[in-house]
Amino acid sequence: MALLFGSMSFLPIPGSALFAAVEPDKSAARPGWKEGIDYLGALLASGEAFIDVPKVARLLDFVVSEKGGDTSLDPGKRESAVGAYFFTDVKAPLSKVVKYAYNSKIPAYITLPSVVRLGGWKIKPTGPFDDLWERVGNVEEPLIIRGIEYEEITPDLTTGGYYRYDMDRLLVLLNYKGRDFFLSVTRQKNPSTVGRKGAIIGPDADWNYFYSGQKGLNKTGLGWVSSYLYSAFSVSILFEPVAAKPQTRCVSFKWLRAGWGGINMVKRENIIEGCKRFALGFKKILESPQLPEAEQLIEAYARIRSLSDQELTTRLHPIGEALKKLCKTDPALSQRHFQDMIESGKYLAGMSREERENLLMSESVKLAIGKKSFLDRMP
């Protein structure tokens, strides 16, 4: 799952009763959950294959309690990074969420279409990762998985910038007080690549994006900016809040430092809006009654990866034609540089193999769940 649950968005997304974002906490005493966060951060760095469950007990007690839904919590700063707390409920059992979102054979962007463009393991995870979802409901001893991932996010809602970075990830499946918890802990390893100019084509909810590869930000007056995601740390906790009900609560503590010139431009509300952006796409995918079975997605992805370069080019041709028409009418693609890339055919031709596979797979999933695609936006 995405490190940031979305980019450093500076414009608000309309609120929804489906989301619960947390406002500033005026109370200074938060020792319970903080102890667990500190311990998980240390565990991520240590490389240990053992988790001391009592040290996260108060954190787990907090997220299942009424205080876990308290809209006054502000986790404060951590290592100069701004923090935020967020949760959302997905109408799907924990085993299904884990099977789709934490499956080495299903790309991360499938369940995170609004926030992740590319992602994968640079160092394959250790532990029982390949069938982790099958352990949900039958956890005897805590299971620990570690690895190093890379991730490239979608364009920011305001600046159009997109970034790539590596991150350490720790996954833990454990049972505490008769309830299964799935923990995901991530820390960005180094500053990201410099921000590059991207664009959101149409409404963000359509999941149609453009990636120029050009350094800078796609915002008037900021085209020259060399921006970075400097550091990020995240603890996400997934569990079923109501027994015997197919519902998973996703709770997240997140800290982010990003901007330019070494200055952190992130505010707490930026992180929360990015989380809302994540949740909209995540829920849309996992709650769709038309979502193919995980095995079908795996087969479809394998077929796309087996295509020759020429076959892949042929499959992408209709999207290229649609973009050529869109670039004449869509404001997001109005820049002459963007139009030249699209009209000349250099945009699709210049994509890496992974980027082209991603585009075809993403469009296939949108069509499978009955959602508009690039082709549906043709004038």
Question: For the residues of 161-176, what is the DSSP string, one character each?
Answer: EE-EEEEEEEEEEEEE
pLDDT the model gives residue 29? 55
E strand residue ranges, 261-368: 263-264
Q: Are residues 220 and 328 in the same domain?
A: no
- Partnered with residue 250 across adjacent β-strands are 88, 238
CA-to-CA separations, 132 to 126, 168, 185, 273, in angstroms, rounded: 12, 19, 16, 30
The angle at the Cα of 19, spanning 13 to 20, to the nearest 5 degrees, equals: 110
Q: Are residues 25 and 173 in the same domain?
A: yes
What count of Cα atoms within 13 Å lies in the side-chain half-sphere of residue 279?
26
Q: Are residues 135 and 186 in the same domain?
A: yes
- Looking at 255, 287, 319, the residue that finishes a domain is 287
Q: Are residues 256 and 296 in the same domain?
A: no
* 86 three-class SS: strand
Residue 1 lies in a domain: no
Residue 229 lies in a domain: yes
Q: Are residues 145 and 238 in the same domain?
A: yes
DSSP 8-state code for residue 293: P
pLDDT the model gives residue 129? 83
Separation between Cα atoms, residue 346 and residue 150, nearest integer Å: 25
Ranges of the chain with pLDDT below 50: 4-28, 30-31, 378-379
Question: Is there a contact between 275 and 113 (Cβ–Cβ < 8 Å)?
Answer: no
| Segment 122-181, tens digit of pLDDT | 988 877 788 899 999 999 999 999 999 999 999 999 899 999 999 999 999 999 999 999
- Looking at 269, 287, 305, the residue that finishes a domain is 287
- Looking at 287, 315, 330, the residue that finishes a domain is 287
Helix axes 353-368, 309-326, angle to 10 degrees: 70
Range of the domain at 339: 290-379
216: left (phi over 0), alpha (psi -120 to 50) or beta: left
Q: Are residues 44 and 97 in the same domain?
A: yes
Residue 14 lies in a domain: no
The DSSP secondary structure of 21-84, one letter per residue, reads E-PPP-----HHHHHHHHHHHHHHHH--S---GGGTHHHHHHHHSGGGG-TT-----BTTBEEE
Q: Are residues 283 and 294 in the same domain?
A: no
pLDDT the model gives residue 205? 93
The angle at the Cα of 30, spanning 233 to 4, to the nearest 5 degrees, equals: 20
Residue 276 lies in a domain: yes
* 258 three-class SS: strand
Q: Are residues 34 and 86 in the same domain?
A: yes
pLDDT the model gives residue 130? 83
- CATH code (residue 65): 3.30.530.20
pTM (2 d.p.): 0.90
pLDDT the model gives residue 158? 85
Residue 8 lies in a domain: no
Q: Are residues 133 and 252 in the same domain?
A: yes
Task: Please provide the distance, in angstroms rounded to a whole number, between the alpha carbons at the two ends of the chain.
Answer: 34
Q: Are residues 111 and 209 in the same domain?
A: yes
DSSP 8-state code for residue 9: -
pLDDT the model gives residue 19? 43
Q: Are residues 282 and 295 in the same domain?
A: no
Question: Is there a contact between 148 and 122 (Cβ–Cβ < 8 Å)?
Answer: yes
Residue 11 lies in a domain: no
Residue 7 lies in a domain: no
Residue 2 lies in a domain: no
pLDDT the model gives residue 13? 32
Q: Are residues 232 and 331 in the same domain?
A: no
Q: Count up the domains in the chain and report the number.
A: 2
Separation between Cα atoms, residue 6 and residue 273, nearest integer Å: 8
